[in-house]
Amino acid sequence: MSDYLSTTEKETSEMLKSIGVNSIDELFDDIPRDLKLKKLNLPQGKSQQETMEIMTALSKKNKVYDVILRGAGSYDHYIPSMVKNLASRSEFITAYTPYQAEMSQGILQAIFEYQSMICNLTGMDVSNASVYNGANAAAEAMLMSTDRTRKVFITFDNIRPDTLKVLNTYAHRRGITVCVLPSKEGVCDLKALKEHLDDTSAAVYIEQPNYFGLLEDAEKIGELAHEAKAKFVMGCNPIALAIVKSPAECGADIAVGDAQPLGLPMAFGGPYVGFMACTEKEMRKMPGRIVGETTDHDGNRAYVLTLQAREQHIRREKAFSNICSNQAYCALIASMYMAAMGPSGMEEVANACVSYAHYFADALASLGFALKYNGEFFHEFVTVSTIPAEKILKALDKEGILGGLKLSDNEILWCTTETLTKADIDRAVEVIRRVK
> Is 2 inside any structural domain?
no
Q: How would residue 107 be classed by pLDDT, with cut points 50, 70 and 90?
A: confident
Q: What is the mean pLDDT of the chain?
A: 92
> Is 86 inside any structural domain?
yes
> Is 210 inside any structural domain?
yes
Residue with more model confidence, 199 or 95:
199
Are 74 and 219 within one domain? no
Are 266 and 388 within one domain? no
In the predicted structure, residue 317 carries a pLDDT above the cut 70: no
Are 285 and 321 within one domain? yes
Nearest one of 210, 211, 231, 226 to 147, comparing CA atoms:
231
101-115, 260-274, 350-364, 372-386: segment of lowest average pLDDT: 101-115
Q: Compute the average pLDDT of residues 106-110.
A: 87
Are 97 and 223 within one domain? yes
- pLDDT of 1: 36
In the predicted structure, residue 313 carries a pLDDT above the cut 60: no
Residue with more model confidence, 34 or 162:
162
> Is 53 inside any structural domain?
no
Q: How would residue 318 be classed by pLDDT, with cut points 50, 70 and 90?
A: low
As for how many domains the chain has, the answer is 2
Residue with more model confidence, 308 or 280:
280
Are 75 and 85 within one domain? no
Report d(CA 213, CA 186) in Å as an integer.
9
> Is 57 inside any structural domain?
no
Nearest one of 372, 381, 370, 387 to 431, comparing CA atoms:
387
Are 119 and 211 within one domain? yes
In the predicted structure, residue 3 carries a pLDDT above the cut 60: no
- Among the three residues 337, 354, 388, which one is the final residue of a domain in this structure? 337
> Is 36 inside any structural domain?
no
Q: How would residue 175 be classed by pLDDT, with cut points 50, 70 and 90?
A: very high
Q: What is the pLDDT of residues 121-153, one digit of tens each?
A: 999 999 998 789 999 999 999 999 999 999 999
- pLDDT of 378: 98
Please give the torsion angle defined by the CA atoms of residues 421, 422, 424 and 426, in that order, rounded to the nearest 10 degrees. 180
Are 97 and 212 within one domain? yes
Are 75 and 123 within one domain? no
Name the percent of the chain lying above pLDDT 70.
93
CATH classification of the domain holding 286: 3.40.640.10
Are 300 and 420 within one domain? no
Q: What is the pLDDT of residues 366-390, one digit of tens each?
A: 999 999 999 999 999 999 999 999 9
Q: What is the pLDDT of residues 55-102, one digit of tens each?
A: 999 999 999 999 999 999 999 999 999 999 999 988 888 766 556 667
Predicted TM-score (pTM) of the model is: 0.87
Are 382 and 260 within one domain? no
Are 99 and 71 within one domain? no
- pLDDT of 414: 98
Q: What is the pLDDT of residues 417-435, one digit of tens each?
A: 999 999 999 999 999 999 9
* Domain span at 390: 67-79+342-433
Residue with more model confidence, 90 or 318:
90
Are 349 and 259 within one domain? no
Q: How would residue 405 be classed by pLDDT, with cut points 50, 70 and 90?
A: very high
Q: Compute the average pLDDT of residues 218-240.
A: 98
Q: How would residue 310 be classed by pLDDT, with cut points 50, 70 and 90?
A: low
Residue with more model confidence, 196 or 321:
196
CA 335 to chain centroid, in Å, comes to: 15
- Among the three residues 289, 312, 337, which one is the final residue of a domain in this structure? 337
- pLDDT of 2: 43
CATH classification of the domain holding 412: 3.90.1150.10
- Among the three residues 313, 337, 361, which one is the final residue of a domain in this structure? 337
Q: Compute the average pLDDT of residues 392-415.
A: 98
